[in-house]
Amino acid sequence: MKVDQSLPLEYSTEQNKNNILGFWVFLGAEIMLFGTLFAAYFVLADRTGSGPTGVEIFQITPVLIETFILLTSSFTIGLGINAMRKGNLKAMITFYVITLLLGLSFLGVEIYEFVHYAHIGAAITVSAFTSTLLTTLGTHGAHVTFGLVWGILIVYQLIKRGLTPETANKSFIFSLYWHFLDVVWIFIFSFVYLKGMI
């Protein structure tokens, strides 16, 4: 394998460059996926049938906690990539573990939120509004869950194999994914929660 030393490790082989471009294209598809979910949400948000409306069920506290946790995790994974570029494996692993722990706590709050909705009569089957709300949030939550498992596997490989072109490439791609989930959350926060609370 030809390794180009003048480039960052994650870009250093042809296959690595392919992987990163491929993942960017995949994120393009993900934008369409969430774009479609948002389109459905905008269409169905006011169609509450006999169920509750957004104003009635949204609580600002868990949403703010989730937002702060996720934004912070996006920052810590950025620090992780910074450590990777400097070749500091130990700091990198630490930041990745912090990121994953933040992801886990985000998920915990979101599960609490879902249970709460079900408890107050806003389960997924109640109306078009609750269906689309919980599907949109759930798709994001499923992505976070998937990211947690993926991230654990990457940390495991970092510990076991150290920083190689492959592990650096995987870690970098994982960071792209994590940032993307953060971007999606910003849209959820603005257009689902804030818009829904007015």
Partner 1 sequence: MDYFERFAIPHPSPAIYASMVAIGFTVIALIFVLTYFKLWGYLWREWLTTVDHKKIGIMYLISAIVMLFRGGADAIMMRAQMAVPNNTLLDAQHYNEIFTTHGTVMIIFMAMPFIMAFMNFIVPLQIGARDVAFPRLNALSFWLFFMGAMLLNISFVIGGSPDAGWTNYFPLADNEFSPSVGTNYYLFALQISGLGTLMTGINMIVTILRMRAPGMTLMKMPMFTWSAFIANVIIVFAFPVLTVALTMGTFDRLFATKFFTTTDGGMDMLWANFFWVWGHPEVYILILPAFGIYSEIISTFSKRNLYGYKSMVGSMVIISFLSFLVWTHHFFTMGQGALTNSIFSITTMAIAVPTGVKIFNWLFTLWKGNIEFTTPMLYSMLFIPTFTIGGVTGVMLGMSAADYQYHNTMFLVAHFHMVIIPGVVFAMLAGLHYYWPKMFGFMLNEKIGKITAWVIAIGTLLTFMPMFFSGLDGQARRMYTYTESTGFGIWNMISFIGAIGFTIGFMLIVYNVYYSIRYSPRNIGMDPWDARTLEWATPNPVPFYNFAKQPHVNSVETFWDSKNNGHELFPEPYEDIHMPSNSGMPFILACIFFAWGFSFVFSMWIPAILSTIGIFICMALRSLEKDPGYYVTVKEIKETEKKLRGVQ
Residues that bind partner 1 (CB under 8 A): 1, 14, 17-19, 21-22, 25-26, 28-30, 32-33, 35-37, 40, 43-44, 47-51, 124-132, 135, 149-150, 153-154, 156-157, 166, 170
- CB closer to partner 1 out of 13 and 73: 13
Min dist CB 105 to partner 1, Å, is: 22
How many other CB atoms sit within 10 Å of the CB of residue 49? 10
Min dist CB 101 to partner 1, Å, is: 20
Min dist CB 176 to partner 1, Å, is: 14
- CB closer to partner 1 out of 68 and 156: 156
- CB closer to partner 1 out of 22 and 87: 22
- CB closer to partner 1 out of 64 and 152: 152
Min dist CB 170 to partner 1, Å, is: 8
Side chain identity at residue 162, one-letter code: G
Side chain identity at residue 120, one-letter code: I
Q: Give one DSSP letter per residue of the chain, joined into a string.
A: ----TTS-GGGSSHHHHHHHHHHHHHHHHHHHHHHHHHHHHHHHTT--TTS--HHHH--HHHHHHHHHHHHHHHHHHHHHHHHHHTT-HHHHHHHHHHHHHHHHHHHHHHHHHHHHHHHTT--TTS-HHHHHHHHHHHHHHHHHHHHHHHHHHHHHHHHHH-S-HHHHHHHHHHHHHHHHHHHHHHHIIIIIIIHHH-
- CB closer to partner 1 out of 106 and 129: 129
Min dist CB 39 to partner 1, Å, is: 8
Min dist CB 31 to partner 1, Å, is: 8
- Please, are residues 36 and 128 in contact by the beta-carbon 8 Å criterion? no
Q: How far is CA 19 from CA 5, 155, 171, in A?
A: 18, 19, 12
- CB closer to partner 1 out of 44 and 163: 44
